[in-house]
Chains A and B, each alone.
Chain A
Amino acid sequence: MTYQLNFSALWPYMPELLAGLWTTIELTVMATIGGVAIGICGAAIRCGNHKILRTTWGVYVEAIRNTPFVVQLFFIVFGLPAIGLKMTAGEAALLAMLINLGAYSTEIIRAGIQVTPKGQWEAGRVLGLSRSQTFLRIVLPPSLKRIYPSLVSQCIIVMLGSSVVSQVSYEELTFAANLIQSRTFLSFEVYLVTTLFYLLLSVAMRQLLLLAGRRFFGSDNG
């Protein structure tokens, strides 16, 4: 066991690694905002009265939550072009992440809404608010507050899962790491640095999101 660590040989590749890191951040920000928005709509549909919509959305949620992310991604990148839907690797990656987080956050947010006491709905209706006003202003905020920590965790899982899109040649952090590894064969160093990047990213993301949560929902959260 006399492995000589050689981090200096990694320096020339730092710009590529940082560019990959930035791409991962961009992808994550877009996927998180979009995915949670889809989740809120989805939760509203799942708790709503429209039966066909509710069932359709249920099928979508179950289909996505019970299949691997990498298969969903390959289906979008390599499968859909066969029926004429062609996307770049980046568009496909973002779409796959949106669809994925959309399904998971639907279930998480729905859980939060369902434990909200019925009396809150009734109170809103009695005060003369419409159904959608009651949902957005009365029911949703405390529901989100309740499930916020698990929603944050899910967003982080999606961020970490974005490493999979390196498989379809989208040049994010893992792709950069793989490429540098295949050029330098410094596996230990490359993946150690990449691991640290992901770790920092996760910690920073959690802190930021919890901070934002405290801002929106009051101080007893996090």
Chain B
Amino acid sequence: MNMNKRLLAWAGAAMLVLQASGAMADQLQDIQKRGVLRVAVPQDFPPFGSVGKDLQPEGYDIDMAQYLADKMKLKLQLVPVTSANRVPYLQTDKVDLVISSLGKNAEREKVIDFSNAYAPFFLGVFGAKGDKLAELSALSGKTIGVTRGAVEDLALTDVAPKDAKIQRYEDNNTTLSAYLSGQVEYIATGNLVVAAIARMNPAKAPESKVMLKDSPCFVGLRKDEPALKEKVNELIAEGVKDKTLNTLSEKWMKAPLPASIGA
């Protein structure tokens, strides 16, 4: 590396630091002064966010962003992101919030803050409408279809009763076929997979019975912005209470909002 390039790198780093410190003031006030809420949303992950028939982004996350912007009386600016760059966009102040099917984990918690959960994302055991399965122990003697080697396979194998008959299939489609053709009584899979069947075949879609692994989505915020975080949490709580989020869940996930959201 020659001297010039090194200088340039230092200058760039310095500018980043300046920019970051410039944003240190209360972000909620900044946003309100600006009048625009910039939100990172997915564009390739239905039903959270995808491009609709009219070429406009649509999905649970887009509706959620619109809901927050409306409640805060701000204009909404959607910023399409990928799952790899959604956190960097937030860190570099390109967006105010990340509403992008973002899950919580320890590494992410080191660099950004999270609101309360706003959207369901879970692996569970699904069965016919009206079926009374309430807990995993009731699976004894039942047949459950699952995709071999998937996370839900490992989770189910760990917790299912010994005499539950777990039938493993090659891929999600075969597992679904096994359920739809009645080869198995229940399936263990993700709520998004079930939402996909519900869109194509509402009458036959199974409904959630027991959760295996819950990893809901959170709104991502920059670290140490208590005012903004409080505002977002307040609006999420309000949305849970007045059923706005339930409406979103019914619309995009084809299932009611699980009790774990807003609990």
Interface residues of A (CB under 8 A from B): 77-79, 81-82, 86, 88-89, 167-169, 175, 178-179, 182-183
Contact = CB atoms under 8 A, between A and B. Distances in A.
A169 B178 contact: yes
Interface in B87-101: none
Given A169-B145, A182-B149, A82 B167 contact: no
A168 B177 CA distance: 10
Contacts of B178: 77-78, 168-169
Contacts, number: 40
Dominant secondary structure at the B interface = mixed
A81 B148 contact: no
A178 B148 contact: yes
B169 interface: yes
B145 to A, nearest CB: 7
Given A86-B181, A88-B183, A169-B168, 18 more contacts: A77-B178, A77-B181, A78-B177, A78-B178, A79-B181, A81-B181, A81-B182, A81-B183, A86-B182, A89-B183, A168-B169, A169-B178, A178-B148, A179-B149, A179-B168, A182-B148, A182-B149, A183-B149
Nearest to A175: B168
B26 interface: no
A78 B181 contact: yes
Interface residues of B, number: 14
Given A167-B174, A169-B145, A89 B167 contact: yes
Nearest to A77: B183
B183 A86 contact: yes
Contacts of A81: 181-183
Contacts of A82: 181
B168 A78 contact: no
A12 to B, nearest CB: 15
26 contacts: A77-B181, A77-B183, A78-B178, A79-B181, A81-B181, A81-B183, A86-B181, A86-B182, A86-B183, A88-B183, A89-B167, A167-B169, A167-B170, A168-B169, A168-B174, A168-B178, A168-B183, A169-B145, A169-B167, A169-B168, A169-B178, A169-B183, A179-B168, A182-B148, A182-B149, A182-B153
B102 to A, nearest CB: 28
Interface in B138-176: 145, 148-149, 153, 167-170, 174
Contacts of B181: 77-79, 81-82, 86
Contacts of B149: 179, 182-183
A150 B45 CA distance: 54
